[in-house]
Structure 1
């Protein structure tokens, strides 16, 4: 047993990691203590772990998120035209339509449905299949999307979208698992904040922490290549980074 081990350093560092959207690393840090304390874990370490685990979003938390309710048309148009991940999809769907292609968009984690609502307001032709958890958001978006929620047109391309998802899930391979359920999508679109989202989550103890980890541009690029090896990826830099993968 070591005689001097200052737990306060660990507790402060774990708190800093949580504020920086690094919940996964904060929990890992609390495991990196000397052997004696791994067998006789001090209560402050246990208490910090309890606080972190209680703050992390669980599946049921995503079923009731007021921020994921669809917004008015003005907000939708601003998002699709000015936010990089929205504008990227708008440009690509328009280009596909110009070639007579009506893509089937499978959207994992549709959030407030900005993407399909924005495409619809721009007159784009597509079919849309959301994979979501918030029932109120779907019910509100459904009448506004109308026939776009119809089934995939026979022979149409499938585009798999997972915007702002990879940082929320314990196993990023779940993205690929959901993609492969669609067969072998022609395209894959991913996004995640570059480093932490905004200023991070300073009030994580009271507001909860939805993000498990952050990504650097290189880490995000490697994640795309690792989980979707059959695609050529284009990286689009932004405070919320975008990867566009086209099947080889």
Structure 2
């Protein structure tokens, strides 16, 4: 009798030069539990001050990670607001309450979004790195009506907090999400409650997303707590994967 393969995606957010040491420490900790395949969400010009092509050490790390099976993802352009929040009230409230200054892609018009994504992808090219076709907005927040602009900019997959959307096939896949933000104690308390529900949901799913942030590094409470959950998944036979494999499974795992 065949068994359905269960997979988890380790998603490292805010991969940018200011956090390189923390990212390296987290990757080392994951490697120690035999997780060598991650989704690295790279901000190609953090706060407009850290262009990726100038970050040689980080470029070397990203290239090595990609060659080892990890996936590079475009995670916004500057990871900061660039105007007033747009969209329906519920999205603007979510951006104001939970994303703070990070809700970059809730502040852009469709033409601005198109230019930003194209420039972000070009920065990867200038860094001589694989140009990503998967996009995750900071805070998982994108203004409504952005799909056409993202497609025009060369994006195939869009990652939400609990979804991956395939723009080519108009397919959406839902998945439980567990992680931490490195935010305020009140915010993290809410996330821990959500994590409990997500762990329960994972027992009925074949894929779960584990999202990490660099604040606190590998010694932070949030990282250590989530890492313990990943170790339990591994003990139960779950395997690491990337978002690309959600839609294009690797027959060899």
Report TM bin, short chain. Answer: 0.3 to 0.5
TM-score, structure 2 as length reference = 0.32
Tell me the TM-score normalized by structure 1: 0.33
Q: Which has the higher contact order (CA 8 A, sep 6+)?
A: 2
